[in-house]
Structure formats: structure tokens, C-alpha cells
Structure 1
Amino acid sequence: MAELSFLPQLGLAVLLSLVVGMEREFRQKQAGIRTHVLVGLGAAVFMVVSIIQFGDSRIAAQIVSGVGFLGAGLIFVRRDMVRGLTTAASVWLVAAIGMAAGAGLFTLAPAITAGYLLVTLVIKPLTRRMPHARSTRHTLMIRYQDGRGLLRTIIAVIAEHGMKVSNLQVRDSSIDPATQEIILQIDGSPNATDAAVVALNRIPGVLKIRLNAKPDEG
């Protein structure tokens, strides 16, 4: 049967999508191996069906649109931070890999996969060495209303911005016994620190934040 001649294309789509999915799975992203393999295989199947039935690749544009909607569902905004962009892009790219494999482009499909790995495994570590991305240590003094369980929220917000708490000191506020003060030492990039401070200021019950405060400052 003519359809059997397309099995190598489908196999290549599964293999290359698996590579991308494993990288996402290793980084514990919301879309992992199964999602990427299914998207890549689905795109390849659509390409094969288009070629067999219509003799061209007129379905390609519809694949791009459909995967665009799927990728949009992986992007969400939380506390002014956009997450899922890279995963959505990887799903979109794996559809392109599946389309290339389904069309029988045995050189282009692996080349796209290699380009993805180059970006994620080589270029990303290089960006961390840039001046704006270097991790620095900052001290935060945060005063908040006591008895509302805000400490857990504060720590969660800091973590959501990709920052690490290296030291935490809790002390009673000398201004108001109904408030609590903490001194935090956090590690992260300057941009992440600024974004974290903005998000912390928006937490109901947080009364004051002082960046790079000294332990004896009020």
C-alpha cells in the first residue's frame, strides 16, 4: 500500500518530537514528552494525508493555526509574570518538525531539532552570563500585618520570580505590635528583584518594603 511508504516520515516525526519532549520533561515543564510527541506525530499525519489525498501540502496552514491555539493555552499570567512562553514555542516548533518530517524533508527536520537543542542547551546558559542576568544578593525588609499568614505568600511570590531566599530573620515590629517584620536575603538578577518588589507591594497586608535594608533598620 502507498500509505506504508510514509512510515519512515512518521517514525522520524515521533523520534524528533521525543527529543524535544524529553528536554521539556527534564525541565519539568507543563507540556512534556507525550504532548510534544502527539503534536509532532499529528502534524506529520496531517501532512501525509494532505499529500496522499490532495497531492500538495494545503493543510499546512491549518496546522499552523491549530497549533497556535494549542500553544496559547499553555501561556498564563500570574502576578504580572508571563509563564509558558518557551513551552508554547516548543510545541509550535515541534509541529513544524512533524510537518517537515511528514513532507519527507529528512535533512530539514533533524536540522530544526538540532537548532532547538542549540537554543535551549547552549544559548540559554550564555544569556545567564550577561550583566543583566547575573545573580546578585539583596536584602529586603518587609513589614506586614501579623496573623494573616502572609509570610508563606511572600516567600511564594519571591520563588515565583525565580529568586532564592538564602536567609530569613523574623522580628517583632517596634512600631505596631499587630505587625511583623522580616529581613530576607535573596539571590537573583536585578530585573527579577525589581519585579519581585513590585509584586510584593501588591500583596494585601504588606505595609512596607525596603530594598537593601540593613538588619538594624526599621
Structure 2
Amino acid sequence: MTNPWMIDNTHILLRLVCAVLLGGLIGWERERSSHAAGLRTHILVSVGSALIMLLSMYGFVAFVKEPSVRVDPARLATAVISGIGFLGAGTILFTGKSITGLTTAASLWVVAAIGLAVGAGFYFAAILTTLFVFLTLLLLNVVEQRYIRGHHTHVVTVRGRTGSGLLEKVSGFMKEREVRIRKMEVHVKDEGTPSVPGQTSSAAEITMHLTSEKQMDPAEMTHQLLRMEGVYSVAIE
């Protein structure tokens, strides 16, 4: 291709196929980890970005020689970088205890850049970036989970009767297991007629944000909390 404003169908096919493969590799990693944006989303972003880059570079060749027209091959590419932010924002979720989806949003942004690079013919940079991103998502996640993150967080909601010393029992339960309570909310309401004459009967809802250096088993913790006197409901996130 000696003419910088011309491209044949073979090279168009090559670039689009390359965008599918590179975007699909990163999307496969996100898919296997059950993230909001997976294989199909990453492929579509990569191919779409490559097509827009091809259109920006070669789609307006008929107007290149016009004296009053100034062709800018990077104009549509800048719009992709700005527009991908809206798609990435849709993958970010606030769950009440943490924010999730930031890595997936970043992977979509990088995949868009990879698609643009492929569309422009920068195969080496696109392939190298894809390998770096894939290794970062696949390997560093294991390293982060095992060596960097020093604690695990959970939100536990316990409902029961206050007359049975519910708050003291739950607090002691967490202390025995070396689980730190970072935040606690207690809501008490009257249940009406007391079950035992002469004693007040009220229900309490205790919501705790917990931090533990060890991974907690939600099923086991739920079972043990339900065995406590006065506890009739447990929810763990």
C-alpha cells in the first residue's frame, strides 16, 4: 500500500479479524471471571473501534484532493476514546460494601484503544498491549488475592429478639473468630405481645460491616449464627 489514503479489501479483512481475536482474548478472561462485560462485549468494542479507525483514515478519500477540505485521520478516533467512557460506566456497581467493575471498565477502555491501533495498522503495539493486559488480568489477580489483599469484607445482617442478649452474643461470636466489626447499625422495633409475661418483646436488626484476614465461609457462619438463641434470620453478602 504505497498510497497512504488507500487500502484494499484484504488488509481491511486482516485488521478486522485481528481486532476480533485480540478483543476476544481479553473478553474471554472477563467472561470466565463472570464479569458484566464479557467475550461478546469486548469483541464488539474492539471491532467497532477498528472499523471507526478504518473509516477515519480511508473512508473520506474522495475528499482528500478538494482544496477546501482538510482531512484529519484521528478525528473519529478521539470520539471513540471519549464515548467508551459511557459504556465503561455501566459496568461499575456500588454494592453497599465496595465498588466493583472498575477493572472491567478499564479493560473496555484498553480494548477500544487496541481496536484503534489495529485499525491504524499498528499490529505489533496492539498485540503486545493485548498480551500485557491479558497477563495483568489473569496472573496479577491471583497474586493480589493471595499476597496483596490482607483482608476480606462482608456485610452481615442478623435479625432476632433483643430479650435474649442478641447484641452481646453476636459481638462475642465475631470476637472469638477474630473478625473486626468496622461498622454496626442496630434497629429495634416492638413485636407486640411478649412471649414471656413480665418481659418486653422487641425485634432487632443488626447490620455489620466486617473485616477478616481469613476468608469466611458464609454457609458455615450462617449456620452457627442461626443456632444462637433468639436469632431467626441471617443474611451475608
**TM-score normalised per structure 2:** 0.61
Question: What percentage of residue pairs aligned between the two structures are identical?
Answer: 32
What's the counterpart of residue 12 of structure 1? 18
Which residues of structure 2 form unaligned runs of 5+? 1-5, 61-70, 189-203, 213-224, 229-237
Task: Tell whether the 8 Å contact from 1:72 to 1:88 is kept in structure 2 after alignment.
Answer: yes
What's the counterpart of residue 165 of structure 2? 175
How many residues are aligned here? 179
Which residues of structure 1 form unaligned runs of 5+? 147-171
For 1:142 and 1:173, the matched residues in 2 are separated by 18
What's the counterpart of residue 83 of structure 1? 100
What's the counterpart of residue 201 of structure 1? 185
- In the alignment, does 2:111 pair up with 1:94? yes
Q: What's the RMSD between the two structures over aligned residues? A: 4.0
What's the counterpart of residue 56 of structure 1? 73
Deviations 1:125-176 (A, max 9, x none): 2223436x2468xxxx986335xxxxxxxxxxxxxxxxxxxxxxxxx96337
Distance 1:83 1:209, change over 3 A: closer
For 1:83 and 1:74, the matched residues in 2 are separated by 8
For 1:10 and 1:124, the matched residues in 2 are separated by 29
Name the aligned partner's letter for residue 49 of structure 1.
Answer: L
Name the aligned partner's letter for residue 205 of structure 2.
Answer: V
Task: Tell whether the 8 Å contact from 2:117 to 2:125 is kept in structure 1 after alignment.
Answer: yes
Q: Equivalent of 2:130, from 91, 113, 117?
A: 113
For 1:56 and 1:210, the matched residues in 2 are separated by 52
Q: CA deviation at 1:55?
A: 6.1
**TM-score normalised per structure 1:** 0.66
Distance 1:143 1:6, change over 3 A: closer
For 1:29 and 1:43, the matched residues in 2 are separated by 21
Distance 1:58 1:134, change over 3 A: same
